[in-house]
Structure 1
Amino acid sequence: MKKVLLAFAIIFCGLANAQVKFGINGGFSSATVSDDFADLSAGYYAGVFTEFGIRGFATMQPALNYVRFNDDSFVQIPVMAKFYFLPKINVQVGPQFAFRLGDVPDTINKTNFGAAVGFGADLFSGLLIEARYAFQLNNAFKSPASGQKLHFNLFNVGLGLRL
């Protein structure tokens, strides 16, 4: 029990000393459907994010984005861990969730779960640039036939502004 309390105390103190920032982001988004990278769709994304941790070392950046392609739209929730290997350059990795909005056929999942990787740079005055690719891990088909797979992978590149 003492070890658990000590662990919570360390985490709490770390978060209390962490820098918490909020911001807005947006940019270009493209989607590939299936494992053969066919059916490329182009669109955009816009959203809000929060960032906490020690900038210049490691931070967490959860975000809430609206993504739009042709007739499809999604709510995208990336939860990225950002590791700085140079003072202003970072590598990003983390889970990403996407929830399809609107009408979806009964054979398709509305919820997608994936893993995302990317790079980013802190430019100046709170301005940042990011590029990220998310691989869908679950099958988009609810009850696929034997060997049938459908993956919806996303690529985002855009700008953000820490407020």
Structure 2
Amino acid sequence: MKRVVLAFAIGCFGMMNAQIKFGVNGGFSSAVVSSKWDNLTQGYYVGLFSEIGIPGFAKVQPALNYVKIHDDSYIQVPVMMKFYFVPKVNIQAGPQFAFRMNDSSSSSKTNFGAAVGLGADLFSGLLIEARYAFQLNEAFKSPAGDKLPFNIFNVGLGIRF
């Protein structure tokens, strides 16, 4: 138990020395609410993010986005791990939550998913990224009661301050 507490304390101390940056992002958002890709809807997202550098080759990037797709709006909270295998290019993976702001009897208000993506740090704090999130819970159901996948694809630009 002492080793676990010591490891936790060392990890917290390391995070305190990590560099934290903040920024804004926005771009194109698209959602698929079926397994056949026949119900593709398009919209946009805007938001705020922070980026926490972890010693080595990774960063954690939690964000808070407002997503507007067709007549629906969501608060989207991705928490992405960014792994830099090539300088300025990253692979992203992590959980993503989406909270539906509109009332609908055919859906839950909370969507939980796993997201994967690719990003690049361009210049002067400018970044570009593309991310696809797969729904893991049963947020949408058809009128017959069948589960309908709700997957979101985001492509956007951001700027770090």
TM-score, structure 2 normalization? 0.93
Partner of 1:131: 130
Indicate the SS of the match to 1:35.
coil
The list of structure 1 runs, each at least 4 consecutive aligned residues, that deviate by more than 3 angstroms after superposition, is: 141-146
Cα drift, residue 4 of structure 1: 2.4
Q: Which runs of 5+ in 2 are unaligned?
A: none
Partner of 1:20: 20
Which whole-Å deviations, capped at 9, do the CAs of 1:108-161 have from their partners, x for residues lacking one? 111000000000000011100000000001122479867x22111000000011
Cα drift, residue 70 of structure 1: 1.6
| 2:153 paired with 1:155 | yes
| 2:3 paired with 1:3 | yes
Paired residues, number: 161
Partner of 1:70: 70
Cα drift, residue 22 of structure 1: 0.6
When residues 142 and 38 of structure 1 are mapped into structure 2, their CA distance, relative to the original with a 3 A threshold, is closer
Alpha carbons 2:54, 2:60 under 8 Å: kept: no
Cα drift, residue 65 of structure 1: 0.2
2:2 aligned partner, one-letter code:
K
1:138 aligned partner, one-letter code:
N
Alpha carbons 1:56, 1:84 under 8 Å: kept: no
Cα drift, residue 88 of structure 1: 0.3
After the TM superposition, which residues 99-114 of structure 1 pair with which residues of structure 2 at under 5 Å, given as runs? Answer: 99-105=99-105, 107-114=106-113
Partner of 1:46: 46
> Cα RMSD over matched residues?
1.8
2:126 aligned partner, one-letter code:
L
When residues 40 and 143 of structure 1 are mapped into structure 2, their CA distance, relative to the original with a 3 A threshold, is closer
